[in-house]
Structure 1
Amino acid sequence: MNKILTLKQFQDLVTEMIGLEPHVEITGELFRMDDEEHGIEKAAEVRGFSRHAKPGYEITFDWIAWGNLDGYLIDMFDFTIEPFTKGEYTPVFKGATVLDDYKEPFEGHELAQKILEQVKPEDWTRWIVDILPEPRMLI
């Protein structure tokens, strides 16, 4: 049987789950210095996902961290992290059907929006900052 949650129960669950340390994984990174002669632009980005879970429930954020491209190499590691939509929406909530006041289920994109409205960016990005690459010493 599928679990059913009211909006209030869902919001309480989201608050609890976002406070739990997630599984965070980097799935790709790109660092490239520009070369005007060959038409290559400077790029700095890291992609990954964060999975906040407790038994029976899961919230997954796909994210992208953009490096600051205004300065020198060291500045490229000053990241701005934001949700990255690979599929239809992000974040993704799994584990229950959430009903509105009229007993109608929320769509996935509506739940994603509710999570983003409720959770401050620093609450879900704080776990990511620690695993982002740091500038390596050039020899």
Structure 2
Amino acid sequence: MDSKVWFQRLDNPDRIEGIASLLLRRGRLTPQVVILCPDAGFMVKLDERLWTIHPESFLAHGVAASDAAENAQHPILLALDVCRDNKPGVLINGTCEVPPELDGFSSIVDFVDAWSEPLMQASRERFRSYRQLGLDPQYIAQTEKK
């Protein structure tokens, strides 16, 4: 497995805003991205946030559906399961568990929930789990701007 795993620090409890900020910092979205969402409610809120990220613009994206051809059109795909229809190079893990099916991604982004000790402990467990899978997770020390 040649994937790189990056842990991004979140200083506040809004993971949706953390993901939106990460996508904005990435600039042009190449390669394609799939965002693994923990549940439908999270996915709806993230979908709304990406449409309103700037007053004058948005981040082009779609919500994974049963139509693989339509899913393939989206540079950012929000999904409840790992979906490869848009041929993503990057997996952003919006859940608090190590995703299944990590093969084939050049990069995997996970989060350190620095605002909560129990969630930070869960982040540490995921970090160890990635290592047990033969990956070498790295920590991104940059904090979010408020």
**TM-score band, normalised by shorter chain:** under 0.3
More contact order relative to length (CA 8 Å, sep ≥ 6): 2
TM-score for the superposition, normalised by structure 1: 0.25
TM-score for the superposition, normalised by structure 2: 0.24
Give the number of the structure whose residues are more often strand, by fraction. 1
